[in-house]
A and B are shown apart, each in its own frame.
Chain A
Amino acid sequence: MIPEGMRDVLPPQTVRLRAVEDLLRARFAAYGYGEVRTPWLEFAATLEEAEDDVLSGGYRLHDEQGHELMVRTDMTVPVARMAADRCDDAPLPLRFSYVAPSIRPWAPQRGQDGEFWQAGAELLGLDSAEADAECVALLCDALTGLGLEEFTVTLGSAAYLMALIDSLDLPDDDRETFTAAFGDRDYPLLESVAGNAAVDEDALKVLWRIIELSGGEEMLGQARRLARNDVMEAALARLARVRDLVDEAGFGRHLAFDFGLVQELGYYSGLILEAYAPGVGLPLASGGRYDGLVARFEWDIPGVGFAVAVDRASDALAEAGVPLVGAPAAVPFPGGLEAPARTAELRRAGIAVLALPEGAAAEPPLIVRRGGAYTLRLADGREVGGDAAAVAAALGA
């Protein structure tokens, strides 16, 4: 009854998801990231600016003027577009956050619903290790704020990888295919392109060794020994600085490094990150530096950010046994439907009330009217309270 890849979310789950969203919002706000909303629909050309098949593959439609529109497939590109459109005279840096859904055509095995909610943060206008570190620390703080104790944020560098690919001296067409194959982890295609382009075998061996570099901070040293040019060295120095700053912020124990880390989205230019937690196979969060993306909307400022997958974060918390405290459940009040003044009085006292018809069956705890007074009937049959304030006190409202 609903399109493939879509789903309905019912109250027990929405309470959890809303709690996750609210906790993430609170952490973003604590770092000064102002929440933004962007429209569901963008011009198709806007999302095509990312030059990425996934982002350009959204649902398309046309408005009455014949413009080609697309349902947004991502939030980073719309935020970049919004910043260029609306904020290009604002003092830098800009800090934005969002909690919003995007929609992509669903595909089996992708591990993502067609509609998926992300809570993200974007820091625009600063190109520095310090800005990268703030984003990584904010992500760690946000996941910690959710109640997760065991998670790992793994860091890589698109700048390091791109400089390595540059050093292979591939012809332009092959470089494009090679880079795309790298993003897809399509190693057979990588080998095929490298073979056709007669890439130096030693250079290729370095590439394979770098892809395998995954682990603790000792990986930085190994990556440094494999660096083939100054750009790679500089990328590593910056990553080491990010590591130091995040450690200073108190989150060093959550960091790991992966130099084979690549993202599906082709706009990353520096830091790349993914976060994992036990029991959830897919990344809880991903992101990175995307200098050059905002420039596609005619404002050349750098940017770095990340997005937390709300569903996966909720799953990770369930795996870790972390309770999520959402809005309190409404207390049943048989007869409340016929007594709106009484119900309003209870709600004014801070009690969430589920107004039911007189005589309706309800499980305790429930509110029982005794003439002009109220009592709260507990599961053991006891009744406490006497008026709205007393019932609220008994509920801890």
Chain B
Amino acid sequence: MRIGLACEVSTPPAEVLDLLGAAGLPVSMLRGETAPALFHPNGVTWFLGSAADVLSGCDRGALDAGVVGSDRLLEGRLGVVDLLDLRRCRDDLVLAVMPSAVHADRRLRVATRHPRAAARHFGATGEQPEILVVDEPLLASSLGMADGVVELSARLRSDVRGAPLLEPRAVVASCSAHLVASRSARVLRRHAFAGLVGRLRVAREEA
């Protein structure tokens, strides 16, 4: 089985590796490794890469499965199947703003990597900000392109140099790591998937 692990800026999260290991997958050599990388222990191919690449790999059938944050799944229209909430790496996708930059007489500008989730949130609240799609929302704010961001709260606390201080204002969505599958692999390797999902579900509850 070929499995992608999304790890954007660091090593694969230990709590995800613990869970995958408890489900019987060979994960020991992944600990401490950084993306991008490829490993082939005991009949499993591990791909460490960005969430976008993991999702593209699953979409095209180059990966059978992947573990990605559900914040990426919120964007919808993906050719992958969301199989299981692993309930690890929980985090909130939040709207955070620079208090000093918000003016009642000016339209709010929000930078984000999650435009559909942001649009859905603002649709529900009735706000109509300008949504700016960027790869680094914090830096976009520091450049003055935006007054705030829709971003994972863990990334607000990260030490992005030069990033402004942002104040969380609302939770857009609660997120966690999810197991996703390629549509083709889910059909062609359904017996392997049934076993894996079952073991992960048990391990998730036992931990």
A→B interface (CB under 8 Å): 109, 111, 150, 152, 154, 181, 184-189, 192, 212, 214-216, 256, 258, 260, 274, 276-283
Known contacts: A111-B60, A281-B62. The answer to whether A276 contacts B76 by CB under 8 A is no
Are A188 and B76 closer than 8 Å at their CB atoms? yes
Q: Verify if B120 is at the interface (C-beta below 8 Å from A).
A: yes
List the A side residues contacting B184 at CB < 8 Å.
276-277, 280-283
Bound form: Cα–Cα A181–B183 in Å: 17
**Least CB separation from B197: chain A residue:** A212
Are A256 and B77 closer than 8 Å at their CB atoms? no
Q: Verify if B35 is at the interface (C-beta below 8 Å from A).
A: no
Are B183 and A281 closer than 8 Å at their CB atoms? yes
Are B188 and A188 closer than 8 Å at their CB atoms? no
Bound form: Cα–Cα A88–B76 in Å: 41
Are A278 and B188 closer than 8 Å at their CB atoms? yes
Bound form: Cα–Cα A279–B58 in Å: 12
Q: Pick from A150, A184, A188, A260 the residue with the most CB of B within 10 Å.
A: A188
List the B side residues contacting A281 at CB < 8 Å.
58-62, 79, 182-185
Pick from B58, B76, B187: contact of A154, CB under 8 Å: B187
8 contacts between A and B (CB under 8 A): A109-B59, A150-B188, A184-B77, A187-B73, A192-B120, A212-B83, A258-B187, A283-B183
Are A276 and B188 closer than 8 Å at their CB atoms? yes
Q: Verify if B78 is at the interface (C-beta below 8 Å from A).
A: yes
Bound form: Cα–Cα A111–B78 in Å: 11
Q: Verify if B139 is at the interface (C-beta below 8 Å from A).
A: no
Q: Verify if B186 is at the interface (C-beta below 8 Å from A).
A: yes
Q: Verify if B90 is at the interface (C-beta below 8 Å from A).
A: no
Q: Pick from B59, B81, B183 the residue with the most CB of A within 10 Å.
A: B183
Q: Pick from B74, B186, B191 the residue with the most CB of A within 10 Å.
A: B186
- In whole Å, how far is B152's beta carbon from the nearest beta carbon of chain A? 15
- In whole Å, how far is A6's beta carbon from the nearest beta carbon of chain B? 20
Q: Mark B46-76, 1 if CB is under 8 A from A, else 0.
A: 0000000000101111100000000001101
Pick from B60, B173, B183: contact of A276, CB under 8 Å: B183
Q: Give me 20 other A-B pairs in contact (C-beta within 8 A), A111-B60, A185-B81 excluded.
A: A109-B56, A109-B59, A150-B188, A185-B76, A186-B77, A187-B73, A188-B120, A189-B120, A214-B81, A215-B190, A216-B190, A277-B184, A277-B188, A278-B188, A280-B184, A281-B61, A281-B79, A282-B59, A282-B79, A282-B183
Bound form: Cα–Cα A193–B89 in Å: 26
Q: Pick from B73, B82, B190 the residue with the most CB of A within 10 Å.
A: B190
Q: Verify if B194 is at the interface (C-beta below 8 Å from A).
A: yes
Are A188 and B190 closer than 8 Å at their CB atoms? no
Are B187 and A152 closer than 8 Å at their CB atoms? yes
Bound form: Cα–Cα A380–B200 in Å: 61
**Least CB separation from B124: chain A residue:** A192
Are B76 and A189 closer than 8 Å at their CB atoms? yes
Q: Verify if B3 is at the interface (C-beta below 8 Å from A).
A: no
List the A side residues contacting B79 at CB < 8 Å.
111, 185, 281-282
List the A side residues contacting B20 at CB < 8 Å.
none
List the A side residues contacting B5 at CB < 8 Å.
none
Pick from A109, A111, A184, A215: contact of B194, CB under 8 Å: A215
Bound form: Cα–Cα A277–B184 in Å: 8
Bound form: Cα–Cα A192–B123 in Å: 11
Bound form: Cα–Cα A154–B188 in Å: 9
Q: Verify if B156 is at the interface (C-beta below 8 Å from A).
A: no
Bound form: Cα–Cα A185–B56 in Å: 16
Q: Verify if B117 is at the interface (C-beta below 8 Å from A).
A: yes
**Least CB separation from B63: chain A residue:** A281
Bound form: Cα–Cα A282–B186 in Å: 12
List the B side residues contacting A152 at CB < 8 Å.
187-188
Are A256 and B187 closer than 8 Å at their CB atoms? yes
Are B190 and A256 closer than 8 Å at their CB atoms? yes
Bound form: Cα–Cα A258–B77 in Å: 18
Bound form: Cα–Cα A200–B151 in Å: 31
**Least CB separation from B173: chain A residue:** A188
Bound form: Cα–Cα A123–B35 in Å: 50
Are A282 and B76 closer than 8 Å at their CB atoms? no
Are B186 and A214 closer than 8 Å at their CB atoms? yes
Bound form: Cα–Cα A281–B185 in Å: 8
- In whole Å, how far is A21's beta carbon from the nearest beta carbon of chain B? 23
Bound form: Cα–Cα A280–B61 in Å: 6
Q: Pick from B59, B61, B74, B124 the residue with the most CB of A within 10 Å.
A: B61
Bound form: Cα–Cα A109–B57 in Å: 11
Q: Pick from A111, A214, A216, A281 the residue with the most CB of B within 10 Å.
A: A281
The 9 closest A-B pairs by CB, nearest first: A281-B61, A186-B76, A281-B60, A276-B184, A215-B190, A188-B74, A276-B187, A154-B187, A281-B184
